[in-house]
Chain A
Amino acid sequence: MTDYVPWYTDCHFEFFFEIPTEQLTPLVPAPLQVVEPRPGVALLWVGFLRFEAGNIDVLPAFHGVTCNVIVHLRVLDGGVRLDLASFVVRIASDCAQFVDWAQRVDRMTVVDCPGLRAQVDRAHASCAVEDDRGPIFTLTSPASEVGWREGLFKIQVFSQDSGGLWEAWVEWFGSYADRQRPTHPDTRLAYHPLFGELDVRTARCIRQMYTAPSRTAVMKYYAPRRMRLAPSAGSR
């Protein structure tokens, strides 16, 4: 696989929230299956990324937000070890070119967020994101002491559009902090079209990942491939 586009970002937050499985399962197409860290509880993965001009191909500076569900990995041919798999529920951006890119190239579902803007406080590892309709989320790290480390994550990203179910592979490398701590009072998900019908009021944040200030992380985003489903036993 060499057909990837590098994405560079100097500001990347990814927070995991516990949501009842029964709410997330309908968002995930078969044969994907949600991961339940606890019985009846699955994980919503909410992210924020800031890109400077030229960080993705020739795109201008923009913000991106993501709303994924953590799902079980599907082992790739060749036995490549992966760290994480998610299904993209929706993404949003204030950059029309990126929206077009995400839909056309990365096969993602994009929700319109007019006037998407963010306030980032790197000192407190916090970002507040909103659009013209109101707040979307505030993500704040509850950890007061931060230990940065370099790391490589290999992530399987599933998405769905009218063309079917797609499977992409992302390699993420950068300097980051990874914490499993309880919800900070300033971490809130708001009612917003990004989250559809999900009841996010009581969502509990159980893991926080974010990049180190003044360091650039890179994602190699490989072109999605239509997902090949294993033949059922009855078809032989």
Chain B
Amino acid sequence: MTDAADFSLADFLIGISDDPLVPDEEFVRWRRETAWATSQYEPVMADAPEARTRILVDGEPRQVLNLASYNYLGLARHPQVLDAATAALRHFGLGTCGSPLLSGLTTLHRRLEEGVARLVGKTDALLFNSGFGGALGCLGGLLRRGDIAVLDADAHICLHDGARVTGAQVRTFAHNDPEDLDRVLTQTYGGRRLVVVEGVYSVFGDIVALPAIAAVAREHGVQVVIDEAHSVLVLGERGGGVVDHFGLEDEVGLIYGTFSKGFAALGGFAAGPVETLDYLRCYANTYVFSCGLPAPIVAGIEAALQVATREPQRRARVLAEADWFRTQLRSIDIDTGASAAQVIPIIIGSDRRRLYELGHALRRAGLFLAPFDYPAVPEDRLCFRACITASHQRADLEEALDIIERVVVGRPAPVRSRRRKAGRNSILLFPGQSSFDPRMLRDARALWPELTQEVVAMSAAALDRDLSEWLDEVRPRSNEDLQVAVFATTHVHLRALQRVHEEGGRSLGLSLGEYNHLVHIGALDFADGVRLVAARGAAYDQGPPGAMAAVFPLHLAELEETLATDERTRAVEIVNLNSPTQNVIAGEAGAVRAAIALIEGKTLARAVIIDPRHPMHSSRYRPVADALRPHLETTRWRSARHPYLPNVTAEPVTAPSPDLITDMLCRHVCEPVRWRASIDRALRDLPNGGRDALFIEVGPGTVLTDLLRAPWRVEPRVSTSRWTRTVEALAGFRGH
């Protein structure tokens, strides 16, 4: 036996060894000889299951584009999920230390049961600590010897095993075929029967033909159990799964689901009538005889449920992107079967050796896909499975398509990759109001006359005031003027950049620049942005007085230590953490002046007043945040095309909700701006950890690129205010 392609796991079901603890020697040899292929199983991840992650390849962490994880709504590391899990961990501890029946439930479990039941439209639910185990427990608890379980032929093995473990007869009907179900139910007349299907089939991604299947079952007087493992939170108006999608809650007797996919956690649930669930609480052995889900997991799941309910755009986005990706795959002659959801097979056929060779080639090219071999799938439908998630950006999927087309289809590097290349590895940085320059619009007009006039006209229209004089010089009469002018000028630079740089890649903005960032990612219309920025500036103008000073070069710990040494400066806050050695302090003006004297007296650092009037981002500005909130709440927020990277958390958010954006923008008025952490975080999601990245400061001045100094950051950087250099750098970056 020398060729992995000639055998599969199915072959070693047939032979047995002398001793159950000693595998068949043929199996051992086969495993050894096929290690080159099977090493693709049990891949070891070095980072979280995000759109981009690292896996160990030949023992070394390697950056990959991840289409192998179930993190469908991108909730695995959502701040609210992490906060909830962390709080529960501290309060309840790591494990429940008992079976749910005896001591393994908490108040969190009960709340989640209610939440899940509501989600799927049932009256009661119970929780399992394992997705597979839950299905095993449900069917094992409900069925008895002599019963007949009628399963879809492609139903997951946990459902087959659950039925078999009871000694019930297991019959299958042709996959998703109501006529064949009718045939089987007609043949199996008499006795207790149960029809078992999946919502979205786990490898081929097709959706159960539930209306027809439920109708056939109803005609035969048989109830339906559905496994919504891959569909809950993703399909349906409220995220309740396929049953919700079709509005057939009354046609399905029991809904089973898992928390390991859309919820990005672990475990499972069953939901149905109170009496059925009560019966399962007594007879589902995997519930009765194993510990309850750990409380941190339960809390995380509940938070995920809240986010998914509050942000339906996440599931809309997943399905829309999956639809786009599937269409693109089909256009390059990839067989995606009957997939209709976020699970998309890339069917290779029957050539097993090719499957594994392609698997290695795809990973070497930076694409992480899971291989599926016989007997997990039919022998002539060996495939890779792509899981599309809300965390995937269009650029990610385009990159995946490029790799698939090159590696699987065997065509040379396609257009979409070249078009996106510059955008993919660049990070746009939008500056705050410290980049103000009275002549910034005049300079912009010199470079891009029509564009500048257009943006100024749009700003004037949005505010219903004449701004034409700004084209010569901006003489701000208020912070409102200053903010609007910087915001508008930055937008001119962005539009100019987009003319030569297409889409642009990821972005983030410092303080005011966060509003330009929101415009760039599509969450905010420019005109709405102008009005919002004006409201922000007006609120600043009404805010309590104070001052801000930049301190450099001084490490944060040293700065904190210095400020703590004097009674007068303890109230001064560090409000901008801009780089390892540059931070900004703010507070009452006298205290800030005292701090400057203290710092310059005790250290070799300099401290310079950068705003004598506004103690921005300090807790003194809480009333400003309150004044701004109504404006934020009434703004028309749109679906973001790229992740939103708020200043205050430095954690990217995919598909941010209006509530979340409002909250983040309110907080950043009176909480520190974590610019350094934001930069580091943005790089982490890029290929090769951002080592190939190009920083582009988009707007007037070079404040932000000046912060990016070695040894902190050594990546190339340009500023659009040095336009000729920017164009040259972009050309070089693309390899033109």
Give me the interface of A with B, judged by CB distance under 8 Å: 18, 20-22, 35-41, 70, 73, 75, 79-85, 147, 149, 178-183, 204, 206-207
> Given A75-B16, A206-B379, is A40 in contact with B160 using a C-beta cutoff of 8 Å?
yes
Q: Which residues of A contact B6 (CB under 8 A)?
A: 178-181
Shortest C-beta distance, B135 to chain A (Å), equals 13
The residues of B with any CB-CB pair to A shorter than 8 Å are: 1-3, 5-8, 10-11, 13-19, 24, 26, 151, 153, 155, 157, 160-161, 170-172, 349-350, 352, 374-376, 378-380
Q: A40-B172, A178-B7 are in contact. List 5 more A-B contacts (CB 8 A).
A: A40-B151, A82-B16, A147-B2, A180-B352, A204-B380
Q: Please tell me if the beta carbons of A37 and B172 are within 8 angstroms of each other in the complex.
A: no
Contact between A38 and B375 (Cβ–Cβ < 8 Å)? yes
Q: Is the CB of B170 within 8 A of A40?
A: yes
Cβ of A84 and Cβ of B172 under 8 Å apart? no
> Do A22 and B380 contact each other (CB < 8 Å), given the known contacts A84-B15, A179-B6?
no
With contacts defined as CB atoms under 8 Å apart, how many contacts are there between chain A and chain B in the complex? Answer: 85
Nearest A residue (CB) for B350: A182
In the complex, chain B residues whose CB is within 8 Å of the CB of A36: 13
**Considering only CB atoms, which chain B residue lies closest to A202 in the complex?**
B174
Q: A38-B375, A204-B378 are in contact. Are A83 and B14 (CB under 8 A)?
A: yes
Partner of A83, one of B15, B151, B153, B172: B15
Residues of chain A within 8 A of B1, CB atoms compared: 149, 178
A20, B375: Cβ atoms closer than 8 Å: no
The residue in chain B whose Cβ has the minimal distance to the Cβ of A38 is B375
Contact of A22 with B171 in the complex, beta carbons under 8 Å: yes
Among A18, A35, A38, A80, the one with the most B-chain Cβ atoms within 10 Å of its Cβ is: A38
User: Which B residues lie within 8 Å of A81 (CB)?
Assistant: 16-18, 24
Mind listing 14 A-B residue pairs with CB under 8 Å? A20-B153, A22-B171, A22-B172, A37-B374, A38-B375, A39-B170, A40-B151, A40-B160, A40-B172, A41-B375, A83-B26, A85-B14, A149-B1, A180-B11
Q: In the bound complex, what is the Cα–Cα distance between A2 and B114 (angstroms)?
A: 69
With beta carbons under 8 angstroms apart, the residue of B18, B153, B378, B379 that contacts A180 is B379
Q: A37-B13, A40-B153 are in contact. Are A20 and B172 (CB under 8 A)?
A: yes
- Chain B residue with Cβ nearest A37: B10
Contact indicator A181/B350 (Cβ below 8 Å):
yes
On whether the beta carbons of B375 and A37 are closer than 8 Å, the reply is yes
The answer to whether B172 and A204 have CB atoms under 8 Å apart is: no
Which A residues touch B172, using CB under 8 A?
A: 20-22, 39-40
Q: How far is the CA of A85 from the CA of B14 in the complex (A)?
A: 7
Q: Is the CB of B15 within 8 A of A73?
A: yes
* Alpha-carbon distance A35/B15, docked complex (angstroms): 10
Please report the C-alpha to C-alpha distance between residue A204 and residue B160 in the assembled complex, in whole angstroms: 21
Q: Write out the residue numbers on chain A whose beta carbons fall within 8 Å of the beta carbon of B352.
A: 180
- Name the residue on B nearest A81 (C-beta): B18
Query: Which residues of chain B come closer than 8 Å to A179, judged between CB atoms?
Result: 6
Closest residue to B187 on the A side, CB-wise?
A22
Taking CB atoms, residues of chain B closer than 8 Å to A70 are: 14
Name the residue in B8, B15, B155, B161 with the highest tally of chain A Cβ atoms < 10 Å from its Cβ.
B15
Whether A182 contacts B379 by the Cβ 8 Å rule is yes
Q: How far is the CB of B379 from chain A (nearest CB, A)?
A: 5
| Max chain B C-beta neighbours (<10 A), residue from A22, A73, A147 | A22
| Bound Cα distance from A83 to B18, whole angstroms | 11
B159 to chain A, nearest CB (A): 8
Output the nearest chain B residue to A40 by Cβ-Cβ distance: B172
CB-CB under 8 A from A79, the residues of chain B are: 18-19
CA distance in complex: A38, B377 (Å): 8
Q: A39-B160, A182-B380 are in contact. Are A84 and B374 (CB under 8 A)?
A: no
Cα distance, A118 to B14, chains bound together (Å): 29
Q: Which residue of B17, B153, B374 is within 8 Å of A206 (Cβ)?
A: B374
A126 to B590, CA, bound (A): 97
The CA-CA distance from A178 to B3 in the complex, in Å, is: 10
Q: How far is the CB of B246 from chain A (nearest CB, A)?
A: 25
B11 to chain A: closest residue by CB: A180
Complex Cα distance, B374 from A41, in Å, reads 12
Residues of B within 8 Å of A207, CB to CB, are: 11
Closest residue of chain B to A151, judged by CB?
Answer: B1
Asked if A183 and B160 make an inter-chain contact with CB atoms under 8 angstroms apart, the answer reads no
B15 surroundings in chain A (CB, below 8 A):
73, 82-84
Point out the residues of chain B lying under 8 angstroms from A147, CB to CB: 2-3
Complex Cα distance A4/B172, Å? Answer: 41
Bound-state CA distance A35–B375 (Å) is: 12
